Structure 1
Amino acid sequence: MNTIPKISLIDRQIMWNRLLAVVEEQAQVCQRTAFSTIVRESGDLAAGVFDAKGRMLAQAVTGTPGHINSMALAVGHVINAYPPETMKPGDVFIHNDPWMGTGHLNDISLTTPCFLGDKLIGFLACNSHVLDIGGVVDRTSSRDVFMEGLYLPILRIVDGGEVDESLMAVIRANTRQPVETVGDVYSLINCNAVGCERLLDMMAEFGLTDLGALADHIIDTSYSAVLAKIAKLPKGTWHGSLQLDGRDEPVLLKAALTISDSGIHVDYAGSTGMTKYNFNVPICYTLAYTSYALGVAIVRDVPNNAGSLAPRTISAPEGCILNALKPAAVFGRAQVGLMLPDLVYNCLRQAMPDQIPAESTCGLWGINVMGPWDSPARISNRFLTQVMTTGGMGALPYRDGMSATGFPSGVRGGPIEIFESMSTIVVWRKEFRQDSGGAGAFRGGLGQAIEMENTIPESFQYFTGYERVENPAKGTAGGGSGASGRLQLSTGELLSGKGRYEIPPGVRIAVSSPGGGGVGDPLSRDRSLVVRDLEYGLISEAAAQEFYGHRTRSHDMVEG
């Protein structure tokens, strides 16, 4: 008999915290055993524990909102495909369906039913990004999802403890990196197994035979806590828009954000329709980053689970870029999806202006390279790798924006040494990009200046999928915009933010990621902060004079 109703509220809170520890260990196992560099070095993953109904109870701190908040839906899809009565101990289910909680094919999702004896007590779920899942070599050229690689529906990859070697063979045969991709699948299988072991240990310690009452406590408490926060907010509907660079023509996103007693709803009617390019966004990914944006601004310290997520809802017309329908190309869905927090904040700033930041870089400026792939004779020099880099966050109304920070993705910048060890590329420079943060009483965060070239006399392929090249992050309340992103070859040629480029031998490519917007009149900035920024090289003397009215000694000497 389950004893949870007789346990004190303090004990329930301890159990809740133990669940958080379980999923954090689960996530760490995934990260430390992953082959994919973006997982191993940058934490592009998610891990969570669910009850027997498929409700998320806890998610690891390690991970990204795009993975975590879309994973919250994935277990429900698995239950629909394989009813619980058909599951047995030792089963593991796999899929990478972009519309069922991954967003694009490179994110593989695994769900493991967890049994106490023969009784299903819950699920452990995880997902992570694999570098290659097949498809076209040119990552910018896909025009439907079938061009983007191996499409796995929900399948049983481990049946009662026996790995389906035929399915593994299919995965292995459809990737350019069979060892790494299959290795990542085993990493995901193992992290769920560890999570299940720790969950059963916790239940044994507290004498639990199911999670039902604890799950209800977690979900009901979280739901009520979020509604209590929403109750303190002004009620009404606010509208906002955001123009993105797109490709060939701009992309316009529109939102109407409504705060009511029952929750917060964001409607994306009026946004641009689906594009022929591959930055369409499945609705699960739109929900993930909308929910995250609201969570950061409003929910804050309430843990992420089915209860705290429930009051945050969205709608978007079918066929718009934020509710793309199969078989739309979605490989680059993050190019648009990561920009949603700025759109949400452009609405929310009208309701609570003293708490919302200026616009940020938002989109990642990952460095994705291949080379050389055009000749079997040079197979020994082939590589496919990436390193994540970031731009600046927008300033808040009470502090400077963070520099070179992966908001809202949470993806950490990867070590250049690892990137160089997995390619023939050398990075000559990687530093803060001076003057890239928008001027203001509170300055926007800085982007980065990165310069690289091949060390062998061969060209290499560079793939771009960047935003904020044509439309920089705007400042607010008199603050300046952040610097636009820029890609330039040492020959002087400027490159577009989206495309595939062959970088010739001996030519360097300079990547300048964007900065965040500033907040408030720059002339009101604390003089000591201006002096500090000058001393650290974050701003130039010219910027100090132009934006902050700060005269340096060198200015006086020149005029004298």
Structure 2
Amino acid sequence: MSSSKGPDPILLTLFANRFMSVAEAMGRSLQQTSISTNIKERLDFSCALFAPDGDLVANAPFIPIHLGAMSFAVKYQMKLHGSSLKEGDVLMANSPVAGGSHLPDITIITPVFAPNSKEIIFFTASRGHHADIGGILPGSMPPTSVNIFQEGAEIESFKIVDGGIFDEKGLIEYMVEKPSQYPGSSGCRNIRDVQSDLKAQIAANHKGIQLIHAIVEDYGLETVQEYMYHIRNNAETSVRNLLKDVAKRAGSNILSAVDYLDDGSPISLRVEINETEGSATLDFAGTGSEVRGNLNAPISVVHSAVIYCMRAMLDMDIPLNAGCLVPLDIKIPKKSLLSPSRTAAVCGGNVLTSQRIVDVVLKAFHACAASQGCTNNLTFGTGGKDKDGKAEAGWGYYETIAGGSGAGPGWHGTDGVHTHITNTRIGDVEILERRYPVLLHRFGIRTGSGGTGKWHGGDGVQREIEFLEPMQVSILSERRTRQPYGMEGGNSGMMGKNTWIKKLREGDGDLDNNNETGTRDINIGGKATVFMGKGDRLLIETPGAGAWGVAEEGGRKKDFVHVRAWEPRGSIADRAAAQAAFTCCIV
């Protein structure tokens, strides 16, 4: 599709920004028309534009773990439906075998047809995290799941809109009826909110289609598609130059790193760079086997983490797209936790194991110290099947909690930020307390939790919530037994900790004169679900991050000002995804 004379640099920049603006506009539409706290307030969603072959063309700076995986989802649906797609069709999927990351992340895919033609010229897609899609626990992120059937509704392919007709009956069957067939599992506990948000995703995709047609009208289809491929080729060239430079600076074309999950499972990586071609093989041989729990990561998640790291290490303002992966050959051992079996539990692999993959890749490339390595997934809610198997209406809430970002050669880490593959907000306290029966007692920086060194690791946070009604509360977290590593002599960050502050009541046996606080502090570990009573509290202390370099004598930790390299998601700012990984400092 490329012109033999090469792209015009001005038009290349123009089209890159036009394509990114399509994804941004989709994101604004989704935020404005959704109703759930998770999508409207926390901004746990992504929108992107894809080529006719399913490759990622452009995106706004949404959730990195979504964006790399969504291409797998688009390509899967293309193979499944082929040329049978028609104007007015919209597809829905969330299964890991269909390019999904974990089940709460539901992808809506819409083909874009050329005017007055049956030719597909683009795809628009949006992926949103829905707070409850069924499963064994409210929030659909059960820390105790051992198979995918316990994690909620799994959808390989569903035509949610067929020729312009919304299939509400089919949606209820997939989201409510099918998940409840499995022992101990319930269907979606609040289908009305989920249905409304899915319609918002459909509308966002349609907004993208309108803007693509406007671009085609301005420049013509041939020019638009030509520059779509030029943008991808530009990203490929940039990554090839990066790999050549890395090998030159390292003095070797072989890089390696290993890190471990809290259960001891290794994630191992060996990178072999071809300095002549600027290509590389990333081999994850030596990674641990599939685990019984939910830390298994689908291969789409592995690719997401890798493409994010490549884009993050590029010091250029270009869209994250499929070209970043062209020079890379990613090898994933079968039967490992990075290539699990069809029915393996995966809800933690998307949010936790992905963070460790990023740490390992950046460690191999000697880019920066470890960030918090966790997303600290908190869920709570009510409803589902009771002890007699009867379904009760209910609700679920989900949030991820910030920690420290890793330091590097020339910058301190940042305190209290969402790092790497997650880029969501925390729920505003006013909204949280108004919509849910909870009180937020404490939310602030966990001072001193970042590693010390020449360049200090960012501090984690403390978040303490009191529950005003009895409800099921679950935490799914990592870095509770292993510290985020420092590099070049820098110290490691502190591990996280989850504490149940249990209110003592008459008959508990521990309510005596020696207990002045009237509570018990119970460390519930990194992965736990607890039925908390009225007045019980949960204190989550998130990990700090690793430092870079040996501390200079007499150095002071806080003699600097943090500057975020990526603006908050609230503005859906136009920033390169690369900057999400790194922060700088002004002395």
TM-score (norm 1): 0.86
**Distance (whole Å) between structure 2 residues aligned to residue 108 and residue 71 of structure 1:** 10
Q: Is the 8 A contact 1:441 1:524 kept in 2?
A: no
| Aligned partner (choices 297, 300, 320) of residue 313 of structure 2 | 297
Q: Does 1:186 align with 2:199?
A: yes
**Distance (whole Å) between structure 1 residues aligned to residue 166 and residue 72 of structure 2:** 25
| Aligned partner (choices 365, 371, 375) of residue 360 of structure 1 | 371
Change (3 A) 1:532 1:3: closer
| Aligned partner (choices 490, 510, 515) of residue 539 of structure 2 | 510
- Greater shift after overlay, 291-300 or 465-474? 291-300
| Aligned partner (choices 399, 404, 414) of residue 427 of structure 2 | 414
**Distance (whole Å) between structure 2 residues aligned to residue 477 and residue 294 of structure 1:** 22
Give the deviation of 1:80 after TM superposition: 0.4
Residue equivalent to 2:513: none
Q: Does 1:254 align with 2:268?
A: yes
SS at match of 1:462: strand
Q: Is the 8 A contact 2:97 2:156 kept in 1?
A: no
Residue equivalent to 1:40: 40
Residue equivalent to 1:129: 129
Q: Is the 8 A contact 2:241 2:278 kept in 1?
A: no
- Counterparts of residues 305-320 of structure 1 (less than 5 Å): 305-320=321-336
| Aligned partner (choices 88, 91, 101) of residue 89 of structure 2 | 91
**Distance (whole Å) between structure 2 residues aligned to residue 380 and residue 317 of structure 1:** 42
Per-residue CA deviation, residues 77-131 of structure 1 (Å, 9 max, x unaligned), is 1110111x32221111111111222221111111111122224322111211111
Q: Is the 8 A contact 2:438 2:467 kept in 1?
A: yes
**Distance (whole Å) between structure 2 residues aligned to residue 117 and residue 16 of structure 1:** 26
| Aligned partner (choices 261, 268, 284) of residue 284 of structure 2 | 268
Q: Is the 8 A contact 2:405 2:417 kept in 1?
A: yes
Per-residue CA deviation, residues 209-244 of structure 1 (Å, 9 max, x unaligned), is 674322222222222232223222215122211122
**Distance (whole Å) between structure 1 residues aligned to residue 7 and residue 525 of structure 2:** 61
Change (3 A) 1:326 1:453: same
Q: Is the 8 A contact 1:371 1:460 kept in 2?
A: yes
Q: Is the 8 A contact 2:16 2:318 kept in 1?
A: no
* 2:470 alignment partner AA: S
- Counterparts of residues 140-159 of structure 1 (less than 5 Å): 140-159=143-162
* Alignment length (residue pairs): 517
- Counterparts of residues 132-281 of structure 1 (less than 5 Å): 132-137=132-137, 139-171=142-174, 173=176, 174-208=187-221, 211-234=224-247, 235-246=252-263, 250-260=264-274, 261-281=277-297
| Aligned partner (choices 475, 486, 489) of residue 500 of structure 2 | 489
Give the deviation of 1:531 after TM superposition: 5.9
SS at match of 1:58: strand
Q: Is the 8 A contact 2:99 2:300 kept in 1?
A: yes
**Distance (whole Å) between structure 1 residues aligned to residue 418 and residue 6 of structure 2:** 44
Q: Is the 8 A contact 1:98 1:104 kept in 2?
A: yes
**Distance (whole Å) between structure 1 residues aligned to residue 51 and residue 447 of structure 2:** 49
Give the deviation of 1:169 after TM superposition: 2.7
Residue equivalent to 2:584: none
Give the deviation of 1:6 after TM superposition: 11
**Distance (whole Å) between structure 1 residues aligned to residue 46 and residue 296 of structure 2:** 22
**Distance (whole Å) between structure 2 residues aligned to residue 381 and residue 416 of structure 1:** 25
Give the deviation of 1:156 after TM superposition: 1.9
Residue equivalent to 1:548: none
| Aligned partner (choices 390, 401, 425) of residue 413 of structure 2 | 401
Per-residue CA deviation, residues 486-515 of structure 1 (Å, 9 max, x unaligned), is 112331221111111122322322111110
* 1:70 alignment partner AA: A
* 1:293 alignment partner AA: C
| Aligned partner (choices 497, 501, 504) of residue 530 of structure 2 | 501
Per-residue CA deviation, residues 325-363 of structure 1 (Å, 9 max, x unaligned), is 2111112212212211111122111xxxxxx21111121
* 2:75 alignment partner AA: G
* 1:106 alignment partner AA: P
**Distance (whole Å) between structure 1 residues aligned to residue 461 and residue 6 of structure 2:** 55
Q: Is the 8 A contact 1:122 1:211 kept in 2?
A: no
Change (3 A) 1:508 1:477: same
**Distance (whole Å) between structure 1 residues aligned to residue 81 and residue 477 of structure 2:** 39
* 2:534 alignment partner AA: P
* 2:206 alignment partner AA: A
Change (3 A) 1:5 1:233: closer
Q: Is the 8 A contact 2:477 2:527 kept in 1?
A: yes
Change (3 A) 1:317 1:157: same
**Distance (whole Å) between structure 2 residues aligned to residue 130 and residue 298 of structure 1:** 32
SS at match of 2:313: helix
Percent of matched pairs sharing the same residue: 26
Change (3 A) 1:328 1:299: farther
Q: Is the 8 A contact 1:72 1:101 kept in 2?
A: yes
**Distance (whole Å) between structure 1 residues aligned to residue 5 and residue 206 of structure 2:** 28
Per-residue CA deviation, residues 282-321 of structure 1 (Å, 9 max, x unaligned), is 1111111122123212465332112223223421111101
Residue equivalent to 1:477: 488
**Distance (whole Å) between structure 1 residues aligned to residue 554 and residue 87 of structure 2:** 62
SS at match of 2:474: strand
Change (3 A) 1:381 1:319: closer
Structure 2: unaligned runs, 5 residues or longer: 177-186, 502-519, 562-587
**Distance (whole Å) between structure 1 residues aligned to residue 11 and residue 262 of structure 2:** 51
Q: Is the 8 A contact 2:190 2:394 kept in 1?
A: no
Give the deviation of 1:43 after TM superposition: 2.5
Change (3 A) 1:498 1:23: same
**Distance (whole Å) between structure 1 residues aligned to residue 31 and residue 100 of structure 2:** 18
Structure 1: unaligned runs, 5 residues or longer: 350-355, 534-560
**Distance (whole Å) between structure 1 residues aligned to residue 11 and residue 260 of structure 2:** 49
**Distance (whole Å) between structure 1 residues aligned to residue 208 and residue 370 of structure 2:** 38
Residue equivalent to 1:112: 110
TM-score (norm 2): 0.82
**Distance (whole Å) between structure 2 residues aligned to residue 210 and residue 142 of structure 1:** 49
Per-residue CA deviation, residues 441-488 of structure 1 (Å, 9 max, x unaligned), is 211101111112123xx4332211111111011222222211111112
- Greater shift after overlay, 503-512 or 513-522? 503-512
Q: Is the 8 A contact 1:226 1:299 kept in 2?
A: no
**Distance (whole Å) between structure 2 residues aligned to residue 164 and residue 308 of structure 1:** 37
Q: Is the 8 A contact 1:386 1:419 kept in 2?
A: no
Change (3 A) 1:368 1:169: closer
**Distance (whole Å) between structure 1 residues aligned to residue 85 and residue 347 of structure 2:** 32
SS at match of 1:113: strand
**Distance (whole Å) between structure 2 residues aligned to residue 492 and residue 341 of structure 1:** 33
Residue equivalent to 1:17: 17
SS at match of 1:385: strand
**Distance (whole Å) between structure 2 residues aligned to residue 330 and residue 65 of structure 1:** 18
Residue equivalent to 1:348: 365
Q: Does 1:435 align with 2:464?
A: no
**Distance (whole Å) between structure 1 residues aligned to residue 490 and residue 313 of structure 2:** 20
**Distance (whole Å) between structure 1 residues aligned to residue 372 and residue 216 of structure 2:** 43
* 1:140 alignment partner AA: P
Q: Is the 8 A contact 1:38 1:388 kept in 2?
A: no
**Distance (whole Å) between structure 1 residues aligned to residue 256 and residue 414 of structure 2:** 27
* 1:102 alignment partner AA: G
Q: Is the 8 A contact 1:121 1:210 kept in 2?
A: no
